[in-house]
Structure 1
Amino acid sequence: MTSTIAAPPPVAGAPARLPGWREAWARLGRPVTGRQVPGTVVILVVSLLVGFAACLVTTSSGINLAYADTQSHLAISRRIFDSKAPGFTQLGTVWLPVPSLILIPFVQSLWLWHTGWAAGLLGMICLAGTACGVYRISARVGHLRAGRLTAVLLVLANPGVLYAFSTAMTEPVLIVTMVGCFSGLAHWVTSRRNLSAGEMMVFSGLPAAAATLSRYEGWVLVFGGTFVVLIVAWRKKRSFFYAIKMASAFGILPLIAIVWWLVYNFAVYSNPLEFMNGQYSAANLQKAVADAGLLAYQGNAGLTLWSYNWAVLETSGLLTVALGLAGALVLAWRRGISDDALVIWLMIVSYAFSLLSLYLGQTHMNNDQTLPTNWWNNRYALSVLPFLAVLGAVLVDALRRVPRIGAGALGLVLVLLGAQTAWWVQDLDRNAVIAEATGYVSIKEASGATAAARFLSENYDGGGILIDESAAGNALLPEIGVPLAEYYNRSAGELFDEALAAPYTHAKWVFVTTADAPELSETGVADLVYDAITRDSSFDTRYRPVFAQGIYVIYERLGG
C-alpha cells in the first residue's frame, strides 16, 4: 500500500514562485521591503561571474601587473609578514592602509601573489559590492527595474572598471566603500522606520571610515556626508538634538580613522603629517614634475576642468557621461534637493575632490588631450562612474514611466550601451585606464624590466637579493615572485643600509636600474643600490653581470 502526502496549500497573499530565470527577473523589479532589496543576490552572482571572467583575461596576459602601483600594493601587503623586517610598520605612509590590509589574506599564497590573482579575487568582491551598491541605491530611491539595471550595466559594461578591479590599485576599495556608504545613507533616508544611531554608524559610518583609510577622497566624503545627514535629520524631526546625534553617529568612526592615521604617522615617523610632506609624500614625489613646469593645470581652473573632464569621458564613456548629465537635469527638475536626491548629489564628492587636488597641484594627470600628451593617472576618474551610473538610472527610470514612449526609449538606451561596449571591445585602448596599462607594458618591455624580472624569477637559487624596490622602474617584486624575506631593500631598514655598505657579505644577487636621472635623487626614488655599487671600487672584482638589457643589470656574486 502506498501513501501520498498532499502538498501544503499556498499561503494566502504569497507571490507565485516562478521557475529559474523568470523568478530572478521578477525579483529585479520588486519593491524594497525594509532592509531587503529584492534582486541583490542576482546582481551579486552576475557581477562575480563578470569579475571572474575579467580576471581570467587580465591575469592570463599579465596586464594586471602593468601598473607599478599594483605591484607596490601587492608587495606592501605581503611584506607585513614576509620580509627581513616584518611588522605593521611595513604599511609605510605612501598610501592609506585599508587596501593593503584587506589584501593580506589573499597574498598568503605565493602563487596568488606572484600572478596577481590575489588582487583579482579581492577585486571581484569589490566589483560585486559596487554593482550591488548602485543597484540598491537605485532601488531605494524608487527606481523600477529598468533604472536599477541601467546603473548596474553602466558599471559592469565598462572595460576600464573591469580591468582596474582585477588589479591591486586602491580605486576598487575606495569605490566599493564609498558606494557602501551611499547605499547605507539611501536606506536611512528612505526607510519608513526611524533607523537608530547605531544602524547609521554600522551601515553608513563604517564604510565611510574604510573609505577615509583607502584614499583621500574618503575624507571629503566624511564632511559632505555629515552635512547631508544634518540636513535630512533636521527635516525628519525638526530636532537639533536628533540632527547632532545622527550626524555624530555617521562621523565618529571616520573621525577615529583619520585621527588614527595621524597618530600612526607620528608614532612611526615622528611627524603626524608625514603622508603629506614627508620623503615619499605625493607632494615630494611630484617635485620633479612641478619643477619641470609640467603641472600646467596647477592654479588654472580652465585647464583643470579640461584635463579632468576628458579623463572622466575617456574612462566612463560618452554614453555614460551623456546619460549622467541628462539624469542630473531630470533629478534637479523632479526632485531638486529632496532627501533622497541629496544622497545622489552627495556622490559628486570624488569629482569635486579630484578637481581641487589637480588645481592645487597635489595630483598629476595627463591624457591625449593634455600637454604633455601621455597617459597618467586617468584611473582616478573611475570614482565618478557610480555617480554617473545612478544619474543614468534616474534618466532611464523617468523615461520608462512615460506612456507609449517608455519602452522605446529604454530599447534605444540598451542599443546605445551595446554600441559603446562594442566600440570599446574593438580597441580596448580607447578606454584611458587600459590605454595607460598597455603603455606601461610597452615601456617595461622596451626598458628591459619585463625581461629582467623574468630572468631573476627563473634563475634565482638563493643567497639573497639586493635591490632598491622604491627606485623608479623597480616595482617588480610580485612579477619576480621570490619570497620577500630574500630581499635586502628599503623596507628592510638597517639591514638594507648594511647590505649597501657591504653587498658581498649579504647578497648573492644584485639588481639595479642604471637610468641617469638626477631629479630622482631629489624626490627620493633614485636607485640607491646602483649609486652604492658605482662608488664601490671592489664591486667588479666580486660580482659579474649575468643579465643586461635596456637600463637593467643583474649581477651574481663570484664563487656563488
Structure 2
Amino acid sequence: MLQIAVSRGGKEPVIIFLAVIAIGLAAAFYLYFVVDKYSLLYYWDAVSHSVAARKLVDWGENPGLGQIGTVWMPLPHFLLIPFVLVDLLFSTGFAGTALSLPCLALTSVYLYKIAKGLQIPGIAVIPAYAAFAGALLYATNPNILYLGITSMTEAPFMLFFVASAYYFQMWYQKGNKLRDLILCSVFLSFATLCRYESWFLPVFLIIVVGVFAIKKKEGKDQQSNNRKALAILASILSLSSIVFWLAWNQYHYGDPFEFSNAQYYSASWYAQNRPFRELLFLQPANVLSVYGVTALAMYGPILLGAGVAGYYVFRKARIDGKKIVLLFLALPPLFTIVSLLIGIGEMSYWFNSRFMVLLSPLIIVMTCIFLAKVGDDGRIVKRRRAITIAAIVGALFIYQLAIPAFAAVITVDDAKGGYSVKENQLAIKTGEALKSLYDGNGKIMVLTGSGLEQRIMVTSGIALRNFDEIIEPSTWKASFKEPWSYDRWLVITSHPGSDALNTTKYWLDRQDELATHYNTVYENEYYKIMALK
C-alpha cells in the first residue's frame, strides 16, 4: 500500500508519511503517559471495535465468521486483528494506533497527490509547497489526529475513500487508463466495507464511466468496444463489497437490510430512541446550523475561509467537467447531511462531531488551490508573494496547533462525554477489580449490556473466551437460567444497557438465589463481582 501511494511522487510523499507517523506517535504517547492511560479508549465505539475484532479469533461460543455481525462494516475489524491479539496493545488502545496512524499518514500522502494532480487553467501547476501544507494541515488537525490514533473506523475509511478519489482523478484527467479505474474501484470497494457514507460512490462511478464510454469518440471497431466494456466492468467492481454485505446479512440474518433495522444497534434505532432526531428530522435549517457550527469548531475560521476562497478560484476556472472530481469528494459529507434530514443519523454539535472528518478532503484541496493561486498571482511581486504565502500558511498551522490550548478539541470532547458517565467510570473500576481477582479459572458471566461489558473486558485484560455474554438475545443459553452450573464468576450491574435490561433485571430480582451459590467479592455503587462458593 505504501509503495503504491508513494510511487511517482518524489521524496515529498515519503517525508509526509514519516512526519505524520512521528507526530501521531508523539500525540499517542503524550495522551497515554501524561494525560490518561485510557485516553486512547475514550470513545465507546473504540472499545467496541477492538473487542469486535478480537472476538473473530478469541471468543468461546462461535469464533470466526460468526462474529462478523451486522451494522458495523467488517473490514476495519479484520484489519485490527493482528494488533488486538497483542494483550498490551488491546488493553491500552494502542492496537487502534497501530492500524489508524498508518492510515492517517497514507491519507495525507494521497491528499498531497490529489492536490498536485489538479489541472486548473490560470495556475500552471499546484506547487509542492501548497500540496505539502495541505497534507500536513489534514494530519495535524487535533480532531482528525485523535481519530487517527484510536481504533475508530474513520481513519481506514478516509484512506480508502481518498485513495479512490485520487485514482478517479487520475483516470478522469490522465487519459482514462484502465489501471487507474481498477485501483479506484478496488479502493472504493474497501471504503464501502468500512462505512456506509461511501455507498453512493459506486453508483456515481458507474454512471460517470458509462456516460464517458457512450460519449467518447473512438472508432467503432471491436478493440474500442472491448476497452469501453472493460472500463464499465472495472467500475462495477466497486459494488462488490456492497453486494457481499447484503448477501451476508441475508444469509446470516434472513434480511439483507438487517444492518439498518437491527434493534439496539442500528443507526436508525439509536436515532429513533434518542432526543437528537427531533431537532433535525426534516428541518434543514437546524441540520445546516449544527453542521456549520461543528465545521467551524473543527476546522477554524482561517482554514474554512481559505477553503471557501479556493472554491471561488475553482469555480472561476473553466475546466471541462471540473465538478466531477469535486462531486466525488462531496458525496460522503452529503450523505451525512441527508441521513440527518431523513432521521437515520444523529448529530448535536460535539456529539458525533467525528462525522465532520468526511468534509476534510474538500476543505484541504480547496485550500491548496487558494495557496497556489496566491503564489501564482502576477499582480504581487515575487518577494511579497512568498511573504504572503508564508504568513497564510503560518496562520493556518498556528491556529490549528493552538486549538488544544484555547478551544475545544471536539472529537476528544465527544469521546470524553461518553467516557465520563458514571456507569462507564464504575465499569472501569469493576474491570480493574476483576483483573486483580480473577485467577484464570472458570468462565465469567456478565450481566451489564454489551457496551459496559466491553469496557470491563478491555480494562480487565482477561482473554475474551473466558467471558459468558448475557444480553437480550442470550436467553436461550442454559447458563442464563443456571449460571452457577457453568460460570465460576458473575458480574452484574443495577444500571444495565438497553440490550440487557430484561436479562439483567431477571437476576436482579433473584439475588437471593444467586447468594446461595456465589459470594460477593467486590461491590461498588452500580456493580457487583461474585465468585462461586
Q: TM-score range by the shorter chain?
A: 0.7 to 0.9
Corresponding residue number in structure 1 for 2:372: 397
Cα distance between partner residues in 2 of 1:319 and 1:229:
37
Q: 1:416 is matched with which residue: 395, 398, 408? A: 395
Cα distance between partner residues in 2 of 1:398 and 1:231:
32
Cα distance between partner residues in 2 of 1:267 and 1:127:
34
Cα distance between partner residues in 2 of 1:239 and 1:252:
24
Q: 1:200 is matched with which residue: 177, 181, 197? A: 181
Q: Which amino acid aligns with 1:65?
A: L
Task: Verify: 1:460 aligned to 2:460, yes or no.
Answer: no
Corresponding residue number in structure 1 for 2:529: 554
Task: After superposition, give the CA deviation of every residue in 1:12-32 in whole Å (9 maximum; x if it has no partner).
Answer: xxxxxxxxxxxxxxxxxxxxx
Task: Verify: 1:448 aligned to 2:448, yes or no.
Answer: no
Cα distance between partner residues in 2 of 1:352 and 1:325:
17
SS in 2 for 1:93: coil
Q: CA deviation at 1:470?
A: 4.1
Q: CA deviation at 1:328?
A: 1.1
**Which structure 1 residue ranges, 5 or more long, are not aligned?**
1-33, 368-374
Task: After superposition, give the CA deviation of every residue in 1:104-123 in whole Å (9 maximum; x if it has no partner).
Answer: 12222122111111110101
Does the CA contact (< 8 Å) of 1:150 and 1:396 recur in 2?
Answer: no
Does the CA contact (< 8 Å) of 1:471 and 1:528 recur in 2?
Answer: no
Runs of 4+ that moved beyond 6 A? 491-496
Q: 2:360 is matched with which residue: 362, 380, 385? A: 385
Q: 2:412 is matched with which residue: 422, 434, 437? A: 434
**Which structure 2 residue ranges, 5 or more long, are not aligned?**
1-5, 119-124
Task: After superposition, give the CA deviation of every residue in 1:45-80 in whole Å (9 maximum; x if it has no partner).
Answer: 112212222222234332110111111100111011
Q: Which amino acid aligns with 1:454?
A: E
Cα distance between partner residues in 1 of 2:345 and 2:272:
11
Q: 2:346 is matched with which residue: 360, 364, 388? A: 364
Residues 1:298 and 1:246: Cα distance change in structure 2 (over 3 Å):
farther
Task: Verify: 1:272 aligned to 2:256, yes or no.
Answer: yes
Counterparts of 1:32-111 in structure 2, within 5 Å, are 36-38=8-10, 39-60=12-33, 61=36, 62-84=38-60, 85-111=62-88
Task: After superposition, give the CA deviation of every residue in 1:87-120 in whole Å (9 maximum; x if it has no partner).
Answer: 1120110201111111112222122111111110
Corresponding residue number in structure 2 for 1:322: 305
Corresponding residue number in structure 1 for 2:241: 257
Cα distance between partner residues in 2 of 1:214 and 1:116:
19
Q: CA deviation at 1:223?
A: 2.4
Task: After superposition, give the CA deviation of every residue in 1:269-295 in whole Å (9 maximum; x if it has no partner).
Answer: 111111111223222233321xx5753
SS in 2 for 1:511: strand
Corresponding residue number in structure 2 for 1:283: 268
Residues 1:349 and 1:401: Cα distance change in structure 2 (over 3 Å):
same
Q: CA deviation at 1:234?
A: 5.9
Stretch of structure 1 that moved more, 174-183 or 99-108: 99-108
Corresponding residue number in structure 1 for 2:116: 139
Task: Verify: 1:166 aligned to 2:145, yes or no.
Answer: no
Cα distance between partner residues in 2 of 1:468 and 1:501:
12
Residues 1:137 and 1:529: Cα distance change in structure 2 (over 3 Å):
same
> RMSD in angstroms over aligned alpha carbons?
2.7
Residues 1:416 and 1:81: Cα distance change in structure 2 (over 3 Å):
same
Does the CA contact (< 8 Å) of 1:467 and 1:487 recur in 2?
Answer: yes
Q: Which amino acid aligns with 2:159?
A: V
Cα distance between partner residues in 2 of 1:500 and 1:486:
15
Residues 1:455 and 1:47: Cα distance change in structure 2 (over 3 Å):
same
The TM-score normalised by the length of structure 1 is 0.84
SS in 1 for 2:529: strand
Does the CA contact (< 8 Å) of 2:48 and 2:451 recur in 1?
Answer: no
Cα distance between partner residues in 2 of 1:516 and 1:69:
17
Task: After superposition, give the CA deviation of every residue in 1:174-206 in whole Å (9 maximum; x if it has no partner).
Answer: 111100101111222232x5412x4411x2001
Q: CA deviation at 1:207?
A: 0.6
SS in 2 for 1:546: strand
Cα distance between partner residues in 1 of 2:129 and 2:154:
27
Q: 1:150 is matched with which residue: 120, 133, 147? A: 133
Corresponding residue number in structure 1 for 2:335: 353
Identical-residue share of aligned pairs (%): 25
Give the length in aligned residue pairs.
Answer: 506
Q: CA deviation at 1:252?
A: 2.1
Cα distance between partner residues in 2 of 1:525 and 1:400:
60
Task: Verify: 1:512 aligned to 2:484, yes or no.
Answer: no
Task: Verify: 1:343 aligned to 2:325, yes or no.
Answer: yes
Cα distance between partner residues in 2 of 1:498 and 1:347:
51
Cα distance between partner residues in 2 of 1:480 and 1:492:
23
Q: Which amino acid aligns with 1:282?
A: A
SS in 2 for 1:397: helix
Q: CA deviation at 1:378?
A: 1.0
Stretch of structure 1 that moved more, 439-448 or 412-421: 439-448
